[in-house]
């Protein structure tokens, strides 16, 4: 008698296409080429504005959340450093390079730090909804109504605090349930940034758009997880840009470079210079089109 | 293997110094093969009692979508640089990919690549399988790849590197020529099986892109440099007796835009070195067997 049931070698979803109906398969390299307003590589800067309660909660603990026994002053304050200092360094760097970015913003940030939101908006940057706070994680263990309430609450609070309605959504750790796409769609959002399976926008079955925010290129992955230096991170961004620009020429169509930034990581004094230098070199590059998330979605939609 | 024994009895000790000379075709010193893993991970697989496939309850979005990047974007990026520099793939295949995305399998087949089985899905683990279940996945693999590509598979890399004590004996019984599951050597070696013969071809975990990026935390450039150093050493040692270098890949890792450029430079370095015999796994095992028996 086997320790495994006979069903372990039965595969009910083995069929052409995916083992789910969330989206359909397509080869990026065979799609009609897309043209950006200028340049061949859309460079999308996306900054996460995160408030970590010192009392962790939610279905799972967000990356970067509290580590020690309560009260974890060390991590509460080190994360909040990003909101007090690091994000302001980034805003200055973006202004100096004359580029616009997206800011994936917890509702709690919008409510707690109005000066930061005002500066983001004054800079012409986009606000993407990024849950309530860093306890607002989503996974399949969350009751469907509770998930609906969480997303609705996050959007309502961001609208109230910023005076604008975001069209994009980023889940914490990009983690969803099987309901999330439908909830986001019903909440009137146009796109989410959670699925890292592509390098151009695509549409889910329910009509919502995915704008892929590559986690492998994030400062969190390269610097915090893989423990590389800021210079190594910047080198990887340049290598990615160079490859994508060359691939765009061969394909006759545009590519996308998502650069996901975290103020408490890249906004440190010894790291910000690497970001500034990267923005200077890419900013001068004729192939680079710096765009906010909704700009890329708009352009992609025109040629869909 | 000897089930339950401290030494599984897979092979005899065979010191690296003083081995019989293996010579690769045209006097080449190092056989280089590239092993792209063409995989399918299920979004909501059954949970095996000894291993949970995903870090979150289904859907584990980043884990699933990251692997899916291979089948939408990065397979072609990886395959194109391999083709450009003359490297055929010896594919470690989740054979259900033949059903889910036959377009990817057809692309690899059209490039003249060799296929071997990496199980049905990389989310179904072999631990604790009954003999009937294990025969089921072996026979399914042979039939599925034959139908999709016309190739009779000759090799095996266990799904997610999960085995039973009888796996290697069964492979020999079904006429497989090589396993990629043993990491004890830089040369092809005989494996002790109950009946028949089976060869172990080096399939490196140490220079596997997954180890490079997620165990050793290398940048794309550091990984490319690692491949070149690995190659240089094995090419030099291959003068005494032919060595084997495997480059095991996953498109969703090596085909990321920040890694593929440096990787292409490493391939170019190897392709230009006339000590390298660039071959498939089956060709390497055949050339070895012709010299040792």
Round to whole Å and give the CA distance between B138 and B123.
16
Give the CA-trace dihedral at A291, A297, A302, A303, to 10 degrees. 90
Tokens of A231: 């210079």
**Of residues A176, A197, A227, nearest to B69 (C-beta):** A197
Round to whole Å and give the CA distance between B255 and B130.
37
B20: DSSP letter: P
Cβ-defined contact of B257 to A217 (cutoff 8 Å): yes
How many Å lie between the alpha carbon of B139 and the closest alpha carbon of chain A?
12
pLDDT over 60 at A1, yes or no: no
Round to whole Å and give the CA distance between A114 and A131.
17
B241: DSSP letter: S
Beta carbons of B128 and B164 less than 8 angstroms apart: yes
Average pLDDT over residues A148-166: 98
How many Å lie between the alpha carbon of A59 and the closest alpha carbon of chain B?
10
B219: DSSP letter: -
How distant, in Å, are the alpha carbons of A116, A209, B98, B130, B180 from that of B5? 64, 55, 38, 20, 22
| Residue A298 backbone phi and psi in degrees, to 5 | -60, -50
B192 in contact with chain A, both atoms CB, cutoff 8 A: no
Beta carbons of A101 and A292 less than 8 angstroms apart: yes
Candidates A5, A6, A11: best to mutate against B (most CBs of B within 10 A) is A11
Give the mean pLDDT of chain A. Answer: 97
Which of B:203-222 have CB within 8 Å of A?
Answer: 213, 217-221
Round to whole Å and give the CA distance between A275 and B152.
52
Mean pLDDT of successive 10-residue segments in chain B (293 residues)? 93 95 98 98 96 96 98 98 98 98 98 98 97 98 98 97 96 98 97 97 95 97 98 98 98 98 98 98 98 83
B63 in contact with chain A, both atoms CB, cutoff 8 A: no
Predicted confidence (pLDDT) per residue in A210-240, tens digit: 999 999 999 999 999 999 999 999 999 999 9
| Residue A42 backbone phi and psi in degrees, to 5 | -80, 115
Task: For residue A69, count CB atoms less than 10 angstroms from its CB and return exposed for 0-12, middle for 13-18, buried for 19 or more.
Answer: exposed
Contacts across the A-B interface (CB distance below 8 Å): 157
Instruction: Give the pLDDT band (50/70/90) at residue A304.
Output: confident
Give the CA-trace dihedral at B144, B148, B151, B154, to 10 degrees. -30
Average pLDDT over residues A93-101: 98
Q: Chain B residues with CB inside 8 Å of A251's CB?
A: none
Instruction: Give the pLDDT band (50/70/90) at residue A148.
Output: very high
Q: Chain A residues with CB inside 8 Å of B60's CB?
A: 175
Q: Chain A residues with CB inside 8 Å of B57's CB?
A: 139-141
Q: What is the largest CA-CA distance in chain B?
A: 53
B165 in contact with chain A, both atoms CB, cutoff 8 A: no
Round to whole Å and give the CA distance between A115 and A118.
5
How distant, in Å, are the alpha carbons of A35, A150, A157, A159, A160 from that of A111? 38, 16, 8, 10, 9
Average pLDDT over residues A49-77: 98
How many Å lie between the alpha carbon of B261 and the closest alpha carbon of chain A?
6
**Of residues A19, A27, A216, nearest to B43 (C-beta):** A19
Q: What is the largest CA-CA distance in chain A?
A: 69
Cβ-defined contact of B59 to A28 (cutoff 8 Å): no
Q: How many CB atoms lie within 10 A of CB B119?
A: 27
B126 in contact with chain A, both atoms CB, cutoff 8 A: no
pLDDT of residue A3: 80
Nearest to A297 by CA among A158, A189, A140, A138: A189
Tokens of A114: 């109005």
How many Å lie between the alpha carbon of A115 and the closest alpha carbon of chain B?
33
Cβ-defined contact of B219 to A195 (cutoff 8 Å): no
pLDDT of residue B293: 65
Cβ-defined contact of A196 to B43 (cutoff 8 Å): no
Beta carbons of A223 and A230 less than 8 angstroms apart: yes
Look up tokens 């010894």; give the residue.
A270
B139 in contact with chain A, both atoms CB, cutoff 8 A: no
Nearest to B118 by CA among B71, B190, B167, B52: B167
> From its phi and psi, is residue B278 left (phi > 0), alpha (psi between -120 and 50) or beta?
beta
How distant, in Å, are the alpha carbons of A257, B111, B135, B138, B169 from that of B152? 41, 17, 16, 12, 18
A124: DSSP letter: T
B52 in contact with chain A, both atoms CB, cutoff 8 A: no
Q: Chain B residues with CB inside 8 Å of A222's CB?
A: 219
Beta carbons of B93 and B116 less than 8 angstroms apart: yes
Round to whole Å and give the CA distance between B190 and B292.
10
Cβ-defined contact of A2 to B128 (cutoff 8 Å): yes
Beta carbons of B97 and B39 less than 8 angstroms apart: yes
């Amino acid at each position: 008698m086997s320790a495994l049931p006979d069903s372990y070698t039965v595969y009910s979803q083995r069929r052409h296409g995916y083992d789910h109906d969330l989206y359909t398969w397509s080869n990026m390299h065979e799609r009609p080429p897309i043209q950006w307003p200028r340049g061949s590589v859309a460079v999308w800067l996306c900054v996460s504005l995160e408030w970590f309660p010192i009392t962790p909660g939610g279905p799972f603990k967000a990356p970067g959340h509290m580590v020690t026994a309560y009260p974890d002053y060390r991590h509460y304050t080190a994360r909040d450093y990003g909101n007090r200092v690091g994000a302001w360094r980034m805003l200055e760097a973006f202004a100096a390079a004359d580029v616009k970015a997206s800011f994936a913003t917890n509702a709690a940030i919008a409510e707690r730090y109005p000066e930061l939101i005002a500066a983001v908006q004054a800079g012409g940057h986009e606000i993407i909804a990024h849950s309530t706070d860093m306890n607002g994680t989503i996974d399949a263990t969350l009751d469907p109504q509770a998930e609906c309430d969480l997303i609705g609450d996050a959007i309502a609070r961001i609208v109230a605090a910023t005076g604008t309605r975001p069209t994009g959504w980023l889940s914490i750790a990009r983690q969803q349930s099987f309901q999330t796409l439908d909830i986001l769609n019903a909440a009137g959002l146009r796109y989410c940034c959670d699925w890292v399976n592509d390098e151009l926008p695509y549409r889910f079955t329910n009509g919502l758009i995915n704008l892929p925010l590559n986690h492998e290129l994030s400062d969190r992955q390269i610097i915090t997880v893989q423990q590389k230096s800021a210079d190594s991170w910047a080198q990887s961004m340049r290598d990615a840009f160079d490859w994508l620009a060359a691939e765009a020429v061969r394909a006759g169509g545009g590519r996308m470079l998502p650069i996901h930034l975290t103020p408490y990581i890249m906004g440190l004094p010894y790291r910000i210079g690497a970001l500034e230098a990267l923005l200077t070199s890419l900013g001068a590059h004729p192939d680079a089109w710096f765009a906010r998330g909704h700009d890329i979605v708009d352009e992609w939609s025109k040629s869909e | 293997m000897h089930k339950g024994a401290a030494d599984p009895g897979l092979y005899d000790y065979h010191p690296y110094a003083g081995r019989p000379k293996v010579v690769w075709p045209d006097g080449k010193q190092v056989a280089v093969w590239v092993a792209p893993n063409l995989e399918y991970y299920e979004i909501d697989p059954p949970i095996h009692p000894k291993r949970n496939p995903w870090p979150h309850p289904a859907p584990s979005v980043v884990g699933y979508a990251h692997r899916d990047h291979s089948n939408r974007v990065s397979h072609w990026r990886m395959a194109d640089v391999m083709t450009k520099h003359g490297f055929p793939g010896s594919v470690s295949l989740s054979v259900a990919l033949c059903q889910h995305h036959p377009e990817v399998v057809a692309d690899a087949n059209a490039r003249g690549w060799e296929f071997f089985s990496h199980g049905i899905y990389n989310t179904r683990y072999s631990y604790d399988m009954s003999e009937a279940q294990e025969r089921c996945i072996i026979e399914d693999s042979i039939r599925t790849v034959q139908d999709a590509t016309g190739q009779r598979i000759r090799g095996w890399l266990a799904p997610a590197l999960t085995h039973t004590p009888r796996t290697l004996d069964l492979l020999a019984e079904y006429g497989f020529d090589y396993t990629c599951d043993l990491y004890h050597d830089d040369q092809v070696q005989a494996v002790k099986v109950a009946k028949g013969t089976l060869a172990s071809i080096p399939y490196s975990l140490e220079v596997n892109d997954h180890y490079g990026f997620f165990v050793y935390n290398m940048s794309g450039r550091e990984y490319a440099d690692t491949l070149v150093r690995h190659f240089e050493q094995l090419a030099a040692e291959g003068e005494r007796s032919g060595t084997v270098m495997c480059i095991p890949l996953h498109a969703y890792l090596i085909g990321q835009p920040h890694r593929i450029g440096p990787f292409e430079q490493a391939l170019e370095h190897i392709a230009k070195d006339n000590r390298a015999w660039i071959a498939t796994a089956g060709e390497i095992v055949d050339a070895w067997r012709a010299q040792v028996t």
